[in-house]
Structure 1
Amino acid sequence: MRSPLLRGAALLATATLGLSLSASPASADAANAAAIPPKALVGYLHASFANGSGWVDMADVPDEWDVINLAFAEPTSATSGQLEFELCPASECPGVPDKAEFIAQIRAKQDAGKKVLLSVGGQNGQVSLETPAARDAFVSSASAIIDEYGLDGLDVDFEGHSLFLDTGDTDFRAPTTPVITNLIAALDGLVERYGDDFVLTMAPETFFVQVGHQFYGSGQWGGADPRAGAYLPVIHAMRDDLAMLHVQHYNSGPVMGLDGAYHSMATADFHVAMADMVLAGFAVAGDPERFFPPLRPDQVAIGLPASINAGNGHTPVAQVHTALDCLTQGAGCGGYQPQETYPELRGLMSWSINWDRFNGDEFAREHGAYLR
């Protein structure tokens, strides 16, 4: 269960929401993850824009994708917390269905056993919940969109400057920075509102997670980037309710692994080292007294670009499978040896379904077959 100190902070932060923040029952810890296949493929569907890859109709999303994240809901301003979600305009996305047909397509996917989530943020959607008013607006507007479209949950894809740590906020177990505590309180509110069936996922970049092993916030003496490791308190606070964490193993600089060596993206070693950090846990900012506990393997997936068009760090299929063999079987490992093997590792996430379609559906076809 999450830290009593952190739960207390969230309770104070959400007093105006009128929501119970009692701890989830132990039996619910794996409920969200159990709603998704043991080996899962997660993909983002460009729902509000085309991004050069073209519109892909929900009805045409290949069956290999188990979780479909609708990209993106964005706030009216960086600090408002008020989310908006509109389908891509026909001028940009020829063939886009009307809202009623889109909702009918979502139902069909859900009837086929798929989970469809609302993804919030993205590269351009900065979301900084600096005030209680923004926190409350986030909860109410996210709920309204989820209810309108009949969605299964929320994906938190905060990037850029959405999350940061104030100077002096040095313990991920008891954060004090408003954009952190308000987000935790907002997610708590959504989980409490929808119950055990609510699917919560997160897609941070490596800088906000694994880099926290070396640097956390502005550091003991200040001056460092306050965003380093800033997702850690959110992940830790929500770990009992988190269905999947799929860190983006792309658009990343070299990152130091648990072996003390730096690893570069687009290689099997990078994926093994980055996944191993959240699967084995690590000392935050090198302090063994502030150890980030491991997540369950069934909560962890690896985030990848679907093709070379989709982002820096595209990894060839064979290298991805080498990484998965190493992590799940201890077979074929290269320079990095994981702390142990994780046969229940959940799977892969990709940006995006659209870019994969643009690339002939290689990601869904090859990785879907591997995971099955």
Structure 2
Amino acid sequence: MRRPSLVYVLVLALLTALGTPATARASAALPRHALVGYLHASFANGSGYVRLADVPDDWDVINLAFGEPTSVTSGDIRFTRCPASECAGVESEAEFVAAIRAKQARGAKVLISIGGQNGQVQLTTTAARDRFVSSVSAIIDRYGLDGLDIDFEGHSLYLDRGDTDFRDPTTPVIVNLISALRTLTARYGPDFVLTMAPETFFVQVGYQFYGGAGSGDNRTGAYLPVIHALRDRLAVLQVQNYNSGPVMGLDGQYHFMGGADFPIAMTDMLKAGFPVARTGHTFPALREDQIAVGLPAAVNAGNGHLAPATVHQALTCLAWGRDCGGYALRGGPSPGLRGLMTWSINWDGYYGWEFQRSHRPFLDALP
């Protein structure tokens, strides 16, 4: 873990003294360019179990995967650590808590991630909303965590017919999630780290289709109202640039996984902002320090894995505006881009830590 610079320490102290908005407080608590990874803490999937204490110190944010609901609409989130019968070498509860404290002492942030591929969460009622708040709080308090990552996938979020303004949503699963996240961030204060890891289908595809208009799928763009409502508290948006179909970028071209242009175009949409399809409204740009590029750590971790040199090309384009392969950045260069997110720490360890070893030095060299 890198030691914070004197400038960082002074800026953080000044922000605190001035009562800076919470989003700046939470962002300032992270390194300028962070390495974010998911740790399979509740399950095994062939990549091998990694004890939290054994996660290399180069990881700045560790998302514990996953907190999942007792049923799709209950709002009752549980985090159950992987049993020894499934995860060989799993640590004890006391060792796990001690590892969290050790990571935090070195400056890392440890978050609980809610959802994942199998954890469908639909807050259809205010009762489910309230149970979500209380159960997530219980997990955070039990382990003394630094924040929350929302990784809603599948059918967790959708838009009801007629819900066409992301600035003022009416669909219960959207409205209740926004309310729950506002309650949680208010409860834990300005240093609470809130991140989100949506798929491109729920964000960038909203440029072409929103809420089923033209596509027939009412999930398209469904994360946009949540992101927009929480943008004053959102530390990092780390869209999954993997397991995705082709997506139209701001250049009017479809971009496909497998090349540098995909994360370039997808990230540029977040930095520039974009019109939301058939609504007459524009999703406003995010700050560059709120954006991280999500990529799979290895070939078995997800579709869309990129070789290190290709990732570096994408980051060079996004940060400096160079080596963009003909793509023109609509949002301009982003030297303060937050960094990289990957699924997952376990898969990176399985492949000899190539992601970490390749990208940590590159991130450190960014402006």
TM-score tier, shorter chain, comes to over 0.9
Corresponding residue of 2:259: 267
User: Under a length normalisation based on structure 2, what TM-score does the superposition of the two structures give?
Assistant: 0.93
Q: 1:195 aligns with which of 167, 175, 189?
A: 189
Contact 2:22/2:189 (CA < 8 Å) preserved in 1? no
CA deviations 1:279-332 (Å, max 9, x no partner) are: 000000055x30000000000000000000101000111000000000101111
Q: 1:52 aligns with which of 46, 56, 75?
A: 46
The residue identity in structure 2 corresponding to 1:301 is: A
Residues paired across the two proteins, number: 345
Corresponding residue of 1:150: 144
2 CA distance for matches of 1:38 and 1:324? 14
Contact 2:44/2:87 (CA < 8 Å) preserved in 1? yes
Corresponding residue of 2:274: 282
Percent of counterpart pairs with the same letter?
A: 68
2 CA distance for matches of 1:309 and 1:29? 34
Pair 1:180 & 2:174 matched: yes
Question: Structure 1 residues 245, 223: closer, same or farther in 2, change over 3 A?
Answer: closer
Corresponding residue of 2:84: 90
Q: 1:253 aligns with which of 238, 241, 245?
A: 245
Contact 2:67/2:77 (CA < 8 Å) preserved in 1? yes
Corresponding residue of 2:21: 27
Pair 1:242 & 2:244 matched: no
Corresponding residue of 1:312: 303
2 CA distance for matches of 1:151 and 1:27? 21
The residue identity in structure 1 corresponding to 2:286 is: L
Corresponding residue of 1:332: 323
Contact 1:121/1:157 (CA < 8 Å) preserved in 2? yes
2 CA distance for matches of 1:110 and 1:168? 45
1 CA distance for matches of 2:22 and 2:220? 31
Corresponding residue of 1:293: 284
Contact 1:29/1:241 (CA < 8 Å) preserved in 2? yes
**Superposed CA RMSD:** 1.0
Corresponding residue of 2:363: 371
Q: 1:322 aligns with which of 299, 304, 313?
A: 313
Contact 2:111/2:147 (CA < 8 Å) preserved in 1? yes
Alpha-carbon shift at residue 26 of structure 1 (Å): 5.2
Corresponding residue of 1:206: 200
* Paired residue secondary structure (1:218): coil
1 CA distance for matches of 2:317 and 2:283? 23
Corresponding residue of 2:338: 346
Alpha-carbon shift at residue 51 of structure 1 (Å): 1.0
2 CA distance for matches of 1:239 and 1:26? 15
* Paired residue secondary structure (1:304): strand
1 CA distance for matches of 2:361 and 2:247? 30
Contact 1:39/1:347 (CA < 8 Å) preserved in 2? yes
Q: 1:120 aligns with which of 114, 125, 130?
A: 114
Corresponding residue of 1:107: 101
* Paired residue secondary structure (2:239): strand
2 CA distance for matches of 1:34 and 1:212? 30
1 CA distance for matches of 2:53 and 2:278? 47
The residue identity in structure 2 corresponding to 1:199 is: V
Alpha-carbon shift at residue 86 of structure 1 (Å): 1.0
Q: 2:349 aligns with which of 335, 357, 368?
A: 357
Corresponding residue of 2:163: 169
Pair 1:218 & 2:212 matched: yes
1 CA distance for matches of 2:354 and 2:278? 39
* Paired residue secondary structure (1:273): helix
Contact 1:255/1:263 (CA < 8 Å) preserved in 2? yes
The residue identity in structure 2 corresponding to 1:200 is: L
CA deviations 1:74-93 (Å, max 9, x no partner) are: 00000000001111010111
Contact 1:269/1:335 (CA < 8 Å) preserved in 2? no
Corresponding residue of 1:15: none
2 CA distance for matches of 1:48 and 1:29? 29
User: Under a length normalisation based on structure 1, what TM-score does the superposition of the two structures give?
Assistant: 0.91
Corresponding residue of 1:233: 225
Corresponding residue of 2:13: none
Unpaired segments ≥5 residues, structure 1: 1-24
Alpha-carbon shift at residue 223 of structure 1 (Å): 6.6
